[in-house]
A = this chain, B = another copy of it.
């Protein structure tokens, strides 16, 4: 099953921002068993955004994920252009409006037109809860092609993906074997661990995430979660094993005490 990723925003094309959303989503989708066929980066222009969605659809994408352009400002136009791309009305979604209302209520703020705009979606779309920011994500099923529209802010994009999209794609996607393990690292701060994790992810087909656990006796503790998947269970286990070995070796060399967590 082919996935296409669409990145929306001038900032990536003029070189102000490096598109780390693409590599993060690419790894996630790959581990879920999808083939990331291509990625399109387009400007904040409605014609170009419509072109990108239509192109991905016409090229046979099963899943299209876009990032960027869901905020409250004038140049955030993804939702509107997505509606136009597939001839849907652009309407206030009641569920999305509840989500946006809840967010602003927590902040003690009223709804304004700019804020209500974030609850407008293609007719028939499903809003996705944003655990981190305000703008909900958008899910649309277009004759079997699933379209997900996410904010461009990495923390919001990742949170919506992990909470709402990953479970759906895991269920719908190709049958793949999925393995995961956890280790505990004591003695190194997360910032020291970050480049090690990046190196290990560069070498193996795995996804690794660190979760700071605070301190024990003044020493920082990180729980590190490693996932791997493949159509072949042995393949997935092998990738996980080698990645874990590399990770433990590098962490130990940097002075950490590492413990494997049995589940």
Q: Does A12 contact B (CB under 8 A)?
A: yes
A218 to chain B: closest CB distance in Å?
Answer: 28
A17 vs B30: C-alpha distance in the bound complex, in angstroms? 13
Of all chain B residues, which has the CB nearest A10?
Answer: B36
Q: Which of A41-49, A103-111, A172-180 contacts B (4 or more CB under 8 A)?
A: A41-49
A20 at the interface (CB under 8 A from B): yes
Residues of A2-18 at the interface with B, using a CB-CB cut-off of 8 Å, are 5, 12-18
| A24 with B15, Cβ < 8 A, contacts A38-B48, A40-B40 known | yes
Contact check, A12 vs B23: say whether CB atoms are below 8 A apart.
Answer: yes
Given A18-B19, A18-B23, A22-B19, also A13-B41 (CB < 8 A): no
A246: min CB distance to chain B, Å: 15
Complex CA gap A184/B173 in Å reads: 55
A154 within 8 A of B: no
In contact, B39 and A27 (Cβ under 8 angstroms): no
Each complex incorporates copies of this chain amounting to 2
> B19 and A36: CB pair below 8 A?
no
Binary flags per residue of A201-226, CB closer than 8 Å to B gives 1, else 0: 11001000000000000000000000
Chain A residues bordering chain B, tally (CB within 8 A):
32
Contacts A18-B19, A48-B37 given: A26-B12 contact, CB under 8 Å? yes
**Which residue of chain B has the shortest Cβ distance to A37 in the bound complex?**
B43
In the complex, what's the smallest C-beta–C-beta distance from A41 to chain B, in angstroms? 4
Q: How distant is A6 from chain B, measured CB to nearest CB, in Å?
A: 10
Nearest CB of chain B from residue A68's CB, rounded to whole Å: 13
A102 to B132, CA, bound (A): 56
Q: A28: CB under 8 A from chain B? A: yes
Residue in B closest to A198 when the chains form the complex, CB atoms = B18
Of A15, A22, A27, most B-chain CB atoms within 10 Å? A15
Given A40-B39, A42-B38, the answer on whether A25 and B19 have CB atoms closer than 8 Å is no
The residues of A with any CB-CB pair to B shorter than 8 Å are 5, 12-20, 22-28, 30, 36-43, 48, 52, 55, 201-202, 205
Closest 5 CB pairs of A and B: A15-B27, A15-B26, A39-B41, A13-B36, A14-B30
Q: List 20 A-B contacts (CB under 8 A).
A: A5-B13, A12-B23, A12-B26, A13-B37, A13-B38, A14-B27, A14-B30, A14-B36, A15-B22, A17-B23, A18-B18, A18-B23, A19-B22, A22-B41, A37-B43, A38-B43, A38-B52, A40-B40, A41-B41, A55-B55
